[in-house]
Amino acid sequence: MTSRVRQARPPQPTLEMVAAVAGVSRATVSRVVNGSTKVSPEIVASVTVAVNELNYVPNRAARSLASRQTQALALVVPEDMTRFFGDPYFAAVVQGITRRLDQSDYTLNLLVASSDPQHKTLRYLRSGNVDGALIISHHTGDDFVAELETTMPVVFGGRPSTADDLEAYFVDVDNAAGAELGTQRLIDIGRHRIGSISGAIDMPAGIDRLTGFERTLNRVGMPTDAVEHGDFTAAGAAAATRRLLERCPDVDGLFVASDLMAIGALGVLREYGKSVPGDVAIVGFDDSPAATSGPVPLTTVHQPSEEMGYAMADTLLRRLTGDEHVPHRTIMPTRLILRDSA
C-alpha cells in the first residue's frame, strides 16, 4: 500500500513579505496598497514591483474589519427582470459602472426588484453589506429610496423624484431639451399632426420628455392632445400606439420617449398599413442598439448611457473618499441622430 503525501501549499504572501522585498516598512506597504497619496512615486514603484513579484493579494476581509468598509456597492433597479434584461439602456449603464469600478477595489452587487413587500432589499442594504448604492429607473412610489438615503451614500441615475431635495446626487441628461430636439425635427420636416408615446409618468424621465414635447408644440401653436402614455416597454408602447391611432388617425409624426418603445410603435403602424416615414415619421430617444434593430433605422435623441453609468460610479466613489467637491448634479448633453424614420 502506498501512502499519499499531501503537498503543503506555499505560504500566502503577506504585507511583511512585501515590505522585506521592497525594503520598506509594513506600514508603508499598507499605505501604498490602500492608495494613499502620501507616499513618494519611487516608493510606490518599488512596492508595486514587490507586490507583482510575490503575487500579493490584499486580504479584503481584514481590510473591511479595519476600515469598516465592505468594498462593495449595490446597483438597485426597481424593475422586474423582464424589463431589466430586455432594455439595452440598462446594459449600457451597467457597462459604464463596471468600467469605472474596474479602476477601484470595489465590486458590484445587482439588486433587481420591482416590488419588495417584505422589504428584503432595504434590509439587505441597511445591514452593512455595501458601502453605497446606485439607483436607476426609480419611480415616484419607490418609498424605500428616501429611507435608503438616510442610511448610506446614494447616487441616482436620472433626476430623482424628490427633485426639491438639493442634497441628492444624480447623473442625468436634460430630458426635456432632448425631447424638444426630437419634436422639432418632426416640425422641421413638415409634419402637421404630431403625437407622442410618452414614457411612464411616474418617472422623472417620462415626465420631462413629455414636458419637452409639449413645450415645443406650444411654441409653434400646434395641439398637444395626441398623447398616449407608455411604460418604457415595447409591449406597452404597442398598446399605446393602437389607442392613439384609434383616437387620432391623422397623426403623421410621432415622438416616442424611448427607442425600445419606438420599435413597438413601428410594429403597430405596419399593422395599420402605415409606412414610415412616408405616412408617419418617428423619432425615438436613447440611441440604443434598438434604434438600428428594427425594420426602419430610427432617427433618435442620443443620450450617453454608458458615460452616465461611469459618472454615477465615479460620483459615488468620490463621495466615499470624502471628496468635498463632488457635484450634486451632473447633466450630460443630448444630440439628434438622423436616420431613416424621420
Per-position pLDDT tens, the chain of length 342: 444 444 444 567 787 888 899 999 887 887 777 666 667 888 888 888 888 888 776 654 444 444 457 789 999 988 888 888 888 999 999 999 999 999 988 999 998 876 665 567 778 887 788 899 999 988 877 767 777 777 789 999 998 876 455 678 999 999 999 999 999 999 999 999 999 999 999 899 999 999 999 999 999 999 999 999 999 999 999 999 999 999 999 999 999 999 999 999 999 999 999 999 999 999 999 999 999 988 899 999 999 999 999 999 999 999 998 888 899 999 999 999 999 999
Residue 275 lies in a domain: yes
Our count of domains for the chain comes to: 3
300 shares its domain with 318: no
Whether residues 213 and 287 fall in one domain:
yes
* Same-domain status, 93 and 193: no
Q: Which three cell numbers stand for residue 285?
A: 430617444
Element (H, E) at 179: helix 175-188
Is 135 part of a structural domain of the chain? yes
Domain harbouring 53, CATH code: 1.10.260.40
**Domain co-membership, 146 together with 106:** yes
Is 189 inside any structural domain? yes
Query: Is 157 in contact with 135 (CB distance < 8 Å)?
Result: yes
3: in domain: no
pLDDT at 2: 44
Q: Which domain holds residue 95?
A: 72-172+305-331
Residue 275: CB atoms within 10 A of its CB come to 10
Q: Is residue 1 part of a domain?
A: no
The answer to whether 24 and 46 are in contact (CB under 8 A) is yes
Q: Are residues 272 and 247 in the same domain?
A: yes
**Inside any domain, residue 4:** no
**Residue 84's pLDDT is what?**
85
Answer whether residue 42 is part of any domain.
Answer: yes
Residues 314 and 206 in one domain: no
At 152, which CATH number? 3.40.50.2300
Q: Are residues 232 and 254 located together in one domain of the fold?
A: yes
Assessment of whether the complete model's pTM goes beyond 0.85: no
Q: Are residues 33 and 109 in the same domain?
A: no
Please indicate, yes or no, if residue 9 is contained in any of the structural domains.
no
Tell me, yes or no, whether 192 and 300 share the same domain. Answer: yes
Instruction: State the pLDDT at residue 35.
Output: 63
Q: Are residues 198 and 290 in the same domain?
A: yes
Report the DSSP pairing between strands 335-337 and 299-302: antiparallel
Cα 214 to chain centroid distance, Å, stands at: 26
**Domain identity same for 103 and 165:** yes
| C-alpha closest to that of 334 among 311, 300, 306 | 300
For residue 13, count CB atoms less than 10 angstroms from its CB and return exposed for 0-12, middle for 13-18, buried for 19 or more: middle
- 53 and 109 together in one domain: no
